[in-house]
Amino acid sequence: MDGQLGPVKQDIRNIQERIVRYEQKLAVAEQAGNKEEEKSLINLLSSLQEEKNILLRSQAPRPADESSKLDEIMDMLRAKQEQTYTFSASTAGRDMAVAAAMNALGLSGMIPGVLPKRWSRGWNKKHFVPFMKWPTQGEIYENTYAPQLLHHFVGALTVFDVPFGVGGFDFKDVHTQKTRLSFACTIGASTILFTGGTDAVVIPHGAIPWQGQTRILFDWKRPPDLQSVESVVTQAQLELMGALYNSRHPALVVFTDGVNFVILQPWGCAIQYYHTFSGTDDCIHVDDAMRLISHHLLHICSRDGAFSHMAPVPENTELSMELAPLLAAKKELGEGEGLAAQLQLDRDLPPNERLESVSNTILAWRQPNLSYFG
């Protein structure tokens, strides 16, 4: 057996050396802003990683008899899970997978946002009151502080004239629905599944399901977990891509601890970001963060709970800019209906059935969407 595995181990080492070299080239291409070379290198790295995974699996001892065939199949299914990442957990390979997904959607990267030149009348005299009720220790924020944060922001948005209820919006707590923004992306020969959700959403009043009509995604962070844009940027990018995939309307993504903000906005071929961390040239004031969120709801968003990105868009330059990446996502990833819901059903299956069902769901999704990828 050792004699058989020796050449395989050498092949794995050779592939790993090539991966390291191409990762170095990718870093140089990113620094130089060479998008074509970035795309080529990302696809090549994905193929090399898949080749490496196949070789790694080939080292496992072969089943002694036919009765072991089921175990072999389950091992292959588990290997597919190596291409699964969650929105919130920082695992090896996630950043590269997110970069590849953004590239597949035609998103060129992150750029500092530009605030509107004018706000609604009277907004300059209105101010955001920070949320200061965080405990020093011991409390589970999902159960205690998520509802309080939601209530606090309903009040804050009301100050900036955002209507709630009939004819306006609903602000929903969805932090227990942990996979409703999940999406899958095919890169090279691999299908990568990203699973996750968010904490709260603003949607048109009465819109269902909420993930099909998102206007704002709110992710609540404890102050120690929100210290910079970099501390949350990958999770925020995943939530934004999840919204582009699942919703028929573009959405802002807001990460906040009730004091500071990181805001992502789909915009043309890029993602605009805003933040309130002082000490940098591109920071904005917390009042402007609330004005931006309110401006999005009042002057960019449709309040139609049945809005469709396929319908003609009224003359609204800002909405058109936000719709551009959503339309690109629909072209690259498919329409999104069904995948997240089916994954939620898979998640509730018994453990011995869950893995195979998740794999079948991904494969069923992948077949009609292969035409979108070269």
User: Residue 142 has what pLDDT?
Assistant: 64
pLDDT over 90 (residue 238): yes
Tell me the average pLDDT across 173-189: 83
One-letter identity of residue 348:
D
Using one digit for the tens of pLDDT, what is the confidence trace for 160-172?
999 999 999 999 9
User: Residue 72 has what pLDDT?
Assistant: 47
Largest distance between two CA atoms of the chain: 79
* Highest mean pLDDT: which range of 30-39, 108-117, 134-143, 280-289: 280-289
Instruction: Output phi, psi for 275, to 5 deg.
Output: -150, 165
Q: Which of residues 225 and 82 earns the better pLDDT score? A: 225
Tell me the average pLDDT across 148-173: 95
What gap in Å lies between CA 265 and CA 270, rounded to an integer? 9
**Neighbouring C-beta atoms of residue 366, cutoff 10 Å:** 15
User: Residue 323 has what pLDDT?
Assistant: 82
User: Residue 316 has what pLDDT?
Assistant: 64
Task: Give which of 192, 303, 304, 180 is closest to 245, Cα–Cα.
Answer: 180
User: Residue 277 has what pLDDT?
Assistant: 96
Using DSSP's 3-state secondary structure scheme, residue 264 falls into strand
Q: From its phi and psi, is residue 334 left (phi > 0), alpha (psi between -120 and 50) or beta?
A: left
Tell me the average pLDDT across 269-276: 93
Residue 240 and residue 271 in contact, taking contact as beta carbons nearer than 8 Å: yes
User: Residue 63 has what pLDDT?
Assistant: 42
**Which residue reads 């999770």 in tokens?**
235
| Helix axes 339-347 and 351-369, enclosed angle (nearest 10) | 170
The H or E element containing residue 248 is none
pLDDT over 60 (residue 185): yes
User: Residue 210 has what pLDDT?
Assistant: 94
Using one digit for the tens of pLDDT, what is the confidence trace for 308-367?
877 666 566 788 888 877 877 776 665 544 455 556 566 666 666 666 666 566 555 444
- DSSP H helical ranges for the chain: 2-32, 35-58, 69-80, 94-104, 141-159, 233-246, 286-295, 317-333, 339-347, 351-369
What gap in Å lies between CA 79 and CA 82, rounded to an integer? 6
Tell me the pLDDT of the chain averaged across its residues. 79
pLDDT over 50 (residue 3): no
User: Residue 268 has what pLDDT?
Assistant: 86
Tokens of 117: 């030149």
**Neighbouring C-beta atoms of residue 298, cutoff 10 Å:** 17
User: Residue 69 has what pLDDT?
Assistant: 43
Q: Which of residues 148 and 136 earns the better pLDDT score? A: 148
Tell me the average pLDDT across 62-79: 44
